[in-house]
Structure 1
Amino acid sequence: MTVENITKVIYDAIDDKLGKDIAILNIGAVSSLCDYFVIATASSQRQVKAIADNVEDELTKLGIEARGKEGYDSQVWVLLDYGDVMVHIFNEENRDFYNLEKLWKDAPYVDVDNLA
C-alpha cells in the first residue's frame, strides 16, 4: 500500500466521522519530517476522540499501527504518527491557535482526488 493510499484512507476515516476543514499538506516537498500532514477540525472533544479512534480502526484493519499517539488525555489536539503521514485532529480553538497551515505555508496542499 502506498503512502498516498494510506493518506486517502485517513481522509475517508475523518470524513466518515464528519471532521471539518480537512487539509492534506505535502510536507515532504519542504521537509524530511514525513510525506503528508492530514489536518482536521472537530466540533467537540468527544468528536476529536471519535475521529482519532476511527482513523486508528481503519488503518488497523489494513495492518497499519500508529508509531506514536499524543493528546488522547486532553482530546483537544490528537496527533497520530504513522511515519510517512501525521494526522492532526484539533478542536476549533486549537486549530485556530496553532494554525499548522500557516506554520507550514511552503508545503503545497494536496487534493484528495489526486491521491490513490
Structure 2
Amino acid sequence: MVTVENMTKQICEAISDKLGKDIAVLNIGKVSSLCDYFIIASGSTARQVKAIADSVEDAMSEIGIEARGKEGRDTQSWILLDYGDVMVHIFDEENRGFYNLEKLWKDAPYVEVEELDEIDAESLKIDL
C-alpha cells in the first residue's frame, strides 16, 4: 500500500530528477478538506515544465497511480496534476510568481520532504 506521504516523497523525487526548482510541500489538509498536500515547483522553460510533469506521471504510473485530472498541458505555463490526496502544481517562473499559491495558502504549514518519512512511520504505528 502506498501512503500519501510516500507518494508525496516520490513526486518530489520525480520533480528533482528533472531539476525542478523551489519545490514546496504544503500540508493543505491542516487548513482545507481539498486534499492532503500541495506540491509546488517551477521550471525555467515550457519544455522543462512539461518534462517535470511527464516525470511525475511516469513515477506515479510505475506504482499504479494515475492522475484523476490534468490541466494546463496546452499552455505549459502551469500544469496541475490531481492525484486526489496530492495536487501537483508545476509552474514556469513567471506564473509561479503571479499566482503565488504559497501566499494564497499561507496558513498551510510547509513540510520538509525529509519529514515525510517521519509522518509516514507515525501513521503506520499500531497501538497495542
What range is the shorter-chain TM-score in?
A: over 0.9
Deviations 1:38-93 (A, max 9, x none): 00010000000000000000000000000000000000000000000000000000
**Structure 2 stretches of 5 or more lacking a match?**
118-128
The answer on 1:31 being equivalent to 2:32 is yes
| Bigger radius of gyration | 2
The residue that corresponds to 2:92 in the other structure is 91
Q: Is the counterpart of residue 50 in structure 1 residue 51 in structure 2?
A: yes
Give the unaligned 5+ runs of structure 1.
Answer: none
User: What's 2:124 paired with?
Assistant: none
TM norm structure 2: 0.90
Instruction: Please tell me the residue identity of whatever aligns with 1:48.
Output: V
Aligned partner of residue 112 in structure 1, secondary structure: coil
| Identity value in percent | 75
Equivalenced residues, count: 116
SS in 2 for 1:38: strand
Aligned residue in 2 for 1:22: 23
After TM superposition, the score normalised by the length of structure 1 is 0.99
RMSD: 0.3
Partner SS state of residue 90, structure 2: strand
Partner Cα separation in structure 2 for residue 8 and residue 63 of structure 1: 16
Show structure 1 runs of 4+ deviating over 6 A. none
Measured after TM superposition, the shift of residue 21 of structure 1 is 0.2
